[in-house]
Amino acid sequence: MPQMLKVATVQFEPVIAEKERNVARLLELCEEAAVDGAKLIVTPEMGTTGYCWYDRAEVAPFVEPIPGPTTDRFAALARKHDCYIVVGLPEVDQDGIYFNSAVLIGPEGLIGRHRKTHPYISEPKWSAAGDLHNQVFETPIGRISLLICMDIHFVETARLMALGGADIICHISNWLAERTPAPYWISRAFENSCYVIESNRWGLERTVQFSGGSCVIAPDGSIVAVIDGGDGVAFAEIDLDAARDRRIGGEPLLRQRRPELYPELLTDTFSWNPYDFFGLYGHEKWPQGKVSRISAAQFAPGDDVDANIAKIAELARDARAAGAELVVFPELSVTGLNEPAKRAQTIPGSSTTRLAALARELSLYLVCGLAERDGATLYNSAVLIGPDGAITTYRKTHLTEAEQSWAIAGDGFVVADTPLGRIGLLIGHDAMFPEPGRVLALRGCDIIACPAAITTRFSTPHAGTQVAQPAPIPTGADPYHWHHFRVRAGENNAYLAFANVIDPARGYPGVSGVFGPDTFAFPRREAIAAEGENIATATIDTSNLDSVYPTNVVRRKDLVAMRKPHSYRPLIQATTGNY
């Protein structure tokens, strides 16, 4: 199997209901890509027909079976040029059910198809949710998976593809409502260490502005090739070995998963009114929530516990002066990063006693990281300490290779109910995995507090787009267009307070922040501590807003409610997989 592969993404503006025109133009663009040597060519969602259909009756003249006349035409082109093509089209099956589908076609004909499993608001007007879940197609050019637009909002879909050994996820879309390449696309490549070939349409259809930004994303989240607006083809040389290495920042993340901790991923808590679900039988009723301010503080902890606690106190006072009621500090902020086991603390102990006194003095919730000693056992832990002195301890469940030399992994996730809302805890490397944040969301967390000491690049800028967007969607340059932990917040409809170490000389970039529960809400409800020792403080709202059914997105959790957990079983199965 070739390790280097030339691929192409096609960007195209179809005209709704002009099927022959669209197919002919797509064949031209695919021929252009094939002649230039591309062995895998990806075209947009519903590219053969257009997208914004009113209902089944309107789209009915344009649906077709698979295989069918359109796939036959692309198969002839694939055979002619010995290449592989991904095409998006509306499918009808033998029972007259319509699907928004993608097909993978090769020189030998139809290889496989994917039916969109997680529908966007428009699909239920005419199509059914897909029933061909999580397939990985073995081909002579690599292991290829297909996803369609909204599918990639859900952490489970791309993760299932990666666990199945996918080298490349071909994501075809009609993406809208933000500047592209979309942060969700980048995070799915990054957290799964695989290539994403993104083919997005552009242009205006029935008042809907599509974003373009078709691209090829490398396993480290970098953009290898991109098209902003207009029809076109972009090429990239990809290295299958880079995907099969399955390392992120040097860490073998797929092998470090803890599937025994993930059984809740198969549950569907938000399929019921959460007012009824949480607190059922009088057990663990949701806290009422409120409008408050929370902070993420970044600094470089040293080897002196007293000095570290003094710095925590200084920054906590600054945050309290800015109105914060919760402050999150970096991983190991109490005991330091350098040989933390030497300064490991008991919980409770002298350090937590001092932090509790600070929390009481400032009427503040504090989240701090420390090396914990419990008898002869050491953990990388975080404590949530309230003004009343109550301590909630979380022991890091996903350890880096270096941490495994001194610490034992924790055995579960924790949440704590406070007047600010339900708070869940993660530590640094935990949040590089999509599963832990999802478990906390399913438990009804409003806020995820994440002390961190991460050196891997997790944020990139955007130079701006020429694609016009309706206000208030931004189109200009953005130094933090992709921030992986903003995506973590949005995909779980939770506030995330991410407090990272800032120490550029040692590779810690900071870029801490408080991120909002809806990544498509502009202007963004967030604050970022970009450079230096600093705090980022943002206003959050975890109140219920409505007494019958939550209208607040952090309480309603739309993206969590729209999951399809019946197809997620491989996420909790212990397997070595193709990684």
| Biggest distance spanned by C-alpha atoms of the chain | 75
Q: Which helix (H) or strand (E) holds 36?
A: none
Tokens (6 digits) for 522? 């502009």
Cβ atoms within 10 Å, residue 252: 15
Sheet containing 137-139: which strands, arranged edge to edge? 137-139, 142-148, 168-173, 195-200, 215-217, 223-226
Among the options 6, 13, 39, 45, which is catalytic?
Answer: 45
Tell me if 460 sits within 8 A of 476, measured CB to CB.
Answer: no
Active-site annotation holder among 19, 91, 123, 149: 149
The amino acid at residue 390 is A
156 is catalytic: no
Three-class SS state of 277: helix
The verdict on whether 45 is a catalytic residue reads yes
Looking at this protein, which amino acid is placed at residue 416? A
511: left (phi over 0), alpha (psi -120 to 50) or beta: left
Three-class HEC string of 447-492: EEEEEECCCCCCEEEECCCCCCCCCCCCCCCEEEEEEHHHHHHHHC
Is 170 one of the catalytic residues?
A: no
Q: Which of 39, 116, 311, 396 is catalytic?
A: 116
3-class SS at 137? strand
Residues 9 and 227 sit within 8 Å (Cβ to Cβ): yes
Query: From CA 463, how far away is CA 226, in angstroms rounded?
Result: 12
Mutual angle of helices 183-192 and 155-163, in 10-degree steps: 30
- In order of 19, 46, 95, 480, the CA distances from 69 in angstroms are 12, 15, 19, 45
What DSSP string runs through 73-132?
HHHHHHHHHT-EEEEEEEEE-TTS-EEEEEEEEETTEEEEEEE-SS--TTGGGT-PPP-S
The SS3 call for residue 211 is strand
β 4-11/232-239 pair status: antiparallel
Q: How many residues can be counted in the chain?
A: 579
User: Would you name the residues annotated as active-site residues?
Assistant: 45, 116, 149
